[in-house]
Amino acid sequence: MDVFRIRGGHRLEGEVEVRGAKNSALPILIASLLVEDGESVIRNIPDLRDIYTCLRVLEHLGVEVDFKRETSTVRLNASRLRGFEAPYELVQQMRASFMVMGPLLGRLGRAKISLPGGCAIGPRPVDLHRRAFEAMGTRIEDEGGYMVAEATPLQGAKIYFDRPSHTGTENIMMGAVMARGMTTILNASCDPEVVDLAEALNSAGARISGAGSTEIIIEGVAALKPLDHTVMPDRLETGTFLVAGAITGGRVTVTGARPDDLGLVLAKLAEMGVDVEVTADTVTASLSGRPEAGTVVTYPYPGFPTDLQASLMALASLADGTSVIRETVFEDRFLHVAELVRLGAEISTVGDEATVIGVESLSGASVMASDIRAGTGLVLACLAARGESVVNRVYHIDRGHERLEERLSLLGADIVREDTDK
Ligand code: UD1
């Protein structure tokens, strides 16, 4: 099993190019299932474990897949689907696989999808996806841990989400593209990745309007042309590198970024004393001295992203003052707290609120990544901690960041990957 060995205390300086957004690439690759004829081409695909898992799900369904890592381009031909089942062993590895349900119902009128089960950040139900597909005329039976769904055909409907589910919105949007009639999603997720998916689909002939707002309208069409799309830059990775610059008292410029997607993140960094400079496609973060304390509440977009909560907590743990961080999107998303405390942070939690009393320095220790984002937050804390740290279960981090250690090294970090089994 791979670990990261990090010697902290080096200032990070320089430029790093952000990769394509995992959370946008996944639904867009999955959307290729809707294309009955021809080859879809998706560019700027990051080289990540979750992408390989997604491609395996698509291959399992009969999609011909060709991923050219050198050019970050995937070609997909879904003209001969041979199944409609997403098996447990794949969905359990990556719950985003559940999103094949929409395209399969839209195109074939049937789908058999494993329920994702729990994960490290809480129970994460799929009831909103389910209720929406039922409202669209789908009959769903539970069989041995699977949802067996049939729609003859999928019908447009008015969908009310109790809360704006990100992948729920994408799943329903993909189903609705080829459903009969018009679908309206109310209280839809406004995330930029939803907009990216809508743009990819619209350029292939879909009729989606309102993506990026809380009301999305989809008029069903009979068929789509092949997708031809370049995936948006990863705003979460951009945020990660910015915190890396700030937490080490350095200066990091992220290139190829889309600063507009990061409004509240940049505002919060500035509130914590980080100097943030923005151009059309770069963001630079620098910090001299300790960060200031901040108040952060995670919230659906355009609120502060839950996926950057652990990274911000790492920064807050070194602040001059006491920060308060509330996690309102997921239950149990504080697993990194105990690990940050191992590094010398002073953090206590009550319910969904963490109080972070800033300390002057952290010191190296062995810590454990529990999911992608918690793991990234720990790497950032270790970059700032004095002495040597080991981050275990790096496979979580590899799900969301392409060779993170190599790119941090180029910025001046002392971080190496080691295989503990060798
Ligand atoms: C997506 C992102 C993930 C991010 C999250 C929140 C992808 C692949 N993943 O996950 O990185 O952390 O958005 O920004 O894009 N909920 C229900 N019932 C449902 C669906 C969701 O109760 O059917 C709840 C969840 O438990 C959670 C909240 O809604 O409390 C938001 O979850 P959701 O937006 O659906 O997250 P994902 O789409 O799974």
Token couple for 333:
């998303």
Regarding whether 321 and 393 lie in a shared domain, the answer is yes
pLDDT digits (tens, 9 = 90+) for 329-355: 998 899 999 999 999 999 999 999 999
Report the number of distinct structural domains present in the chain: 2
pLDDT digits (tens, 9 = 90+) for 230-247: 999 999 999 999 999 999
Regarding whether 206 and 184 lie in a shared domain, the answer is yes
Nearest atom (ligand 1) to Cα of 300 = 14
Whether residue 300 has pLDDT greater than 80: yes
**How many angstroms is it from 189 CA to the middle of ligand 1?**
10
Domain with 276 in it: 2-15+233-419
The answer to whether the CB of 50 is under 6 A from ligand 1 is no
The answer to whether the CB of 116 is under 6 A from ligand 1 is no
**How many angstroms is it from 351 CA to the middle of ligand 1?**
19
Average pLDDT over residues 253-257: 98
Question: Closest residue (by CA) to atom 31 of ligand 1?
Answer: 165
Regarding whether 69 and 209 lie in a shared domain, the answer is yes
Whether residue 185 has pLDDT greater than 90: yes
- 35-39 long-range contacts, CB within 8 A, separation 24+: 35/76, 35/78, 35/79, 35/204, 35/224, 35/225, 35/226, 35/227, 36/78, 36/79, 36/107, 36/223, 36/224, 37/79, 37/223, 37/226, 38/77, 38/79, 38/225, 38/226, 39/75, 39/76, 39/77, 39/226
Whether residue 121 has pLDDT greater than 70: no
Nearest atom (ligand 1) to Cα of 50 = 8
The answer to whether the CB of 187 is under 6 A from ligand 1 is no
pTM: 0.97
Regarding whether 237 and 226 lie in a shared domain, the answer is no
413 part of a folded domain? yes
Mean pLDDT of the chain: 96
Whether residue 142 has pLDDT greater than 80: yes
Distances 70 to 74, 106, 126, 187, 304 between C-alpha atoms, Å: 11, 33, 36, 39, 33
pLDDT digits (tens, 9 = 90+) for 303-327: 999 999 999 999 999 999 999 999 9
Question: Closest residue (by CA) to atom 4 of ligand 1?
Answer: 307
pLDDT digits (tens, 9 = 90+) for 202-214: 999 999 999 999 9
Q: Of 163, 197, 230, at which residue does a domain stop?
A: 230
Token couple for 161:
């989400």
pLDDT at 157: 97
**Quick one: CA torsion of 71, 96, 371, 2, rounded to 10 degrees?**
-40
**How many angstroms is it from 81 CA to the middle of ligand 1?**
28
The answer to whether the CB of 307 is under 6 A from ligand 1 is yes
